[in-house]
A = this chain, B = another copy of it.
Amino acid sequence: MRAILAGKGALPGLLLEAGPARLVRFSGVPVDVPVGGAPVGDVPGRDVPIYDVIEARFEQLGRLFDDLRAAGVSEVCLAGAMARPPLDPAAFDPFTAKLMPVLIQAMEQGDDALLRAVIGVIEAAGFPVVAAHLIRPDLVAPEGVLAGAITGQADAARARAVLDALGPLDVGQGAVVANGQVIGVETLQGTDAMLGFVARTAPGSGGVFVKRPKVGQDLRVDMPAIGPETIRNAAAAGLAGIEIAAGNVLLLDRDAILAACAHTGMSLWARP
């Protein structure tokens, strides 16, 4: 049995389609998958298998691990963005209270460090953590053109060079280059914020957006992803193409992405 630790976005739902699983929902974390008391089997246009929800709290990881064991869970996947809800000091179980010094220290080093620490805790509790694209390999793209045609290869190469330079600093899953000029570097605020910046400050550039994991990134943590909104925002920013890393960027989801490409005339390709 698999447990999906659910955050925002389409990914948890897409992973639930891959086979039997428990959906773990944390108190205070918004989830876009239907999570009523009843199992879900009627998402329009999708064949969602029946699943059960495990309600959890960040303050009670000890109880969560007990619940996972009781449900026969043998692997865990972190899926979707999780905000950090405020923690209730009165709610901690002893197991979690003991972990707090480690987690607080990790938190000071940023979200990725915190997630890596959380993965360490989960695996130490006996649950291997797997990346989403190992559960659903069809969510990533092999090398090749997905829509339109490869464009702006020199710009794409420059964007990759920027990402390669920033990767060791744990910064930058995306960059935009137009006519040899860097006009966008993705920061903590994410892809959509950067594309909005490009739309406002460098409209109509015809540039290329490159999205890749950071060099050496653990893909179980904050795996880069694009969705139809990414395509529409790139089009609104006046870009001509999007290059993603083959095998390493989630398409959430592919049909909607290809429809958005067709609608906007955006080119999209995957490169090793």
Contacts and interface: CB of A to CB of B under 8 A. Distances in A.
Interface of A: 108-111, 158, 161-162, 165-166, 168-169, 171-172, 180-185, 187-189, 193, 196-197, 200-202
B161 A165 contact: no
B180 A187 contact: no
How many copies of the shown chain assemble into the complex?
2
A199 to B, nearest CB: 11
A83 B233 CA distance: 28
Nearest to A194: B197
A169 B175 CA distance: 13
Contacts of A111: 181
Given A169-B162, A171-B162, A197-B197, A187 B185 contact: yes
A168 B172 CA distance: 17
B197 A188 contact: no
Contacts of A184: 187
A208 B51 CA distance: 46
A187 B193 contact: no
B193 A188 contact: no
Contact of A181 (B165, B181, B185, B188): B188
A215 to B, nearest CB: 11
Residue of A166, A168, A184, A202 with most chain B CB atoms under a 10 A cut-off: A166
A173 B193 CA distance: 21
Contacts of A185: 171-172, 185, 187
Nearest to A184: B187
A161 B172 CA distance: 13
B202 A189 contact: yes
Nearest to A186: B185
